[in-house]
Amino acid sequence: MPATPVTSASNSSTTLGSPAHPRVSVLGLGAMGAVLAGTLLAAGHPTTVWNRTHGRADTLRAAGAIEATSPAEAVSAADVVIVCLFDHASVHQTLDPIATHLAGTDLVNLTTTTPEQARELAAWSETHGIHHLDGGIMSVPEMIGHAGSEILYSGSPEVFGRRQDLLAHWGASTYLGPDAGRASLEDLAILSGMYVMFAGFLHGAAMVASAGVGAVEFAGRAAPFLAAMTGGLGGLAETVDARSYAAPGQQSLDFSDLSHIVRASAEAGVSTEAVQMVQNLITRQRDAGFGTEGFARIYESITDTTSRSHR
Ligand code: FVH
């Protein structure tokens, strides 16, 4: 949370923005919304905030933000409206009643939604004359405004162009094109990789626990190896883009067979689900005669949904 008060932000009727510091309103002061608002306030933007439950704006108010009593009041004081709520339903519950107030404003939705939900919000915005940009936050609140923070955007190129300087206060901004669903798609795709990796790590931790090894001790050995393995992602990606899996030097599917890991998991008395999921993807390709091809070939098991029932 910023410590710097914004002295110009004394009340909503007299606060004026400037080309360098347009007026912003942030709807939603959860863990992420509060940090997004605080960062803009610290950067000198006249900042109005609103949260469904009263009492979450105290620190921001003390730092110079204006607390609006309703979403309508909040957006009427803004050139740019930032939305960071729980989910797609809460976005509509908040914005639908104030669509007419939002007409003509730039709306940046940073709530995590599915790609189709982002496209739906883009269509809804267009119907109401609202300029919509969607964002996928690839950071946790502590990272916002610091090195390593990144937000993916897609939707209106005009909003991204107009508001690039403002967005830069939160971290690196990457614009992925006019399809409003693209930022969400890439956000959730990256998170898929993270969650499957975390599940694999926890699976390993459960295996070694059977020998009395603590998860912290295990993490000390697993983390460097897993970090080194991410260096192989580029090679996998090239193979997938070429759709040519017979690459010499790559680990074959026959070699990658996980039956020993599945068996060791059962012997350790833990669920085999996490590793069996990968084994199923491998088995489908080996059964189809591709055992000598590279591990990246399991991409075909993932994209060919028709063969799922044959495993
Ligand atoms: N926190 C994180 O690390 C991640 C990083 C990646 C992106 N996510 C997404 O950001 C959205 C907000 O996340 P958050 O961490 O701020 O979430 P909470 O702290 O749970 O705050 C939720 C806010 O939403 C308000 N809210 C919920 N339902 C409604 C509703 N029906 N109408 C209006 N507001 C609603 C809630 O208000 P209240 O409970 O205090 O009244 C909070 O302000 C989210 O999409 C993450 O996936 C964060």
pLDDT, one tens digit per residue, over 37-62 is: 999 999 999 999 999 999 999 999 99
Q: State the closest ligand 1 atom to the C-alpha of 140, by its place in the atom list counted from 1.
A: 3
Supply the pLDDT for residue 2. 34
3-state secondary structure of 16: coil
Given the CA of residue 85, which atom of ligand 1 is nearest to it?
24
d(CA 74, CA 231) in angstroms, rounded, equals: 46
Please report how the helices 115-127 and 182-209 are oriented relative to each other, as an axis angle in degrees rounded to 10: 150
Mean pLDDT, the chain, whole residue set: 92
Please give the pLDDT value at position 15.
62
Cα 65 to ligand 1 centroid, rounded to whole Å: 19
Two tokens, residue 89: 């339903």
Give the number of other Cβ atoms within 10 Å of residue 181's Cβ: 21
Query: Which pLDDT belongs to residue 248?
Result: 73
pLDDT tens digits for 137-152?
999 999 999 999 999 9
- Rounded Cα–Cα distance for residues 146 and 135 (Å): 18
Q: Is the pLDDT of residue 310 over 60?
A: no
Mean pLDDT throughout 85-91?
98
Centre of ligand 1 from the C-alpha of residue 94, in Å: 12
Q: What is the domain class of 4-178 according to CATH?
A: alpha beta
Statement: residue 3 has pLDDT above 80:
no
Where in the chain is CATH 1.10.1040.10? Answer: 210-303
pTM: 0.91
Cβ-contact 25, 81 below 8 angstroms: yes
Distance 174 CA to ligand 1 centre (A): 22
Ligand 1 site, CB within 6 A: 28-33, 51-53, 56, 84-87, 90, 93-94, 111-112, 137, 140-141
**pLDDT greater at residue 255 or residue 38:** 38
CATH classification code of 210-303 = 1.10.1040.10
Neighbour count for residue 252 (Cβ, 10 Å): 18
The whole-number pLDDT of residue 17 equals 78
CA distance 234 to 172: 22
Give the distance (Å) from ligand 1 centre to CA of residue 6.
25
Helix and strand element counts for the chain (H, E):
14, 8
Give a three-class secondary structure readout of 184-203. Answer: HHHHHHHHHHHHHHHHHHHH
**What mean pLDDT comes out for the span 122-147?**
98
DSSP label at residue 162:
H
Res 308: pLDDT: 57
- For ligand 1, atom 19, which residue shows the shortest CA distance? 30
Residue 115 has pLDDT above 90, yes or no: yes
The per-residue pLDDT for 288 is: 96
Q: What pLDDT is attached to residue 163?
A: 97
Find the 54 Cα to ligand 1 centroid distance in Å: 14
Atom of ligand 1 nearest to the CA of 111: 45
Query: Does the CA dihedral 240-244-248-253 come out positive or negative?
Result: positive
| Interval 203-232 mean pLDDT | 97
For residues 66-75, average pLDDT: 97
Question: Which ligand 1 atom minimizes the distance to the CA of 138?
Answer: 6
* Beta-bridge partners for 51: none
Q: Is the pLDDT of residue 311 over 90?
A: no
CA dist., res. 276 & res. 154, Å (int): 36
Q: What is the share, in percent, of the chain residues with pLDDT greater than 70?
A: 93
pLDDT at 305: 77
Indicate which atom in ligand 1 lies nearest the CA of residue 87: 45
Check whether 104 has a pLDDT greater than 70: yes
Which residue spans of the chain are classified as CATH 3.40.50.720?
4-178
Q: What is the pLDDT of residues 228-250, one digit of tens each?
A: 999 999 999 999 999 999 867 77
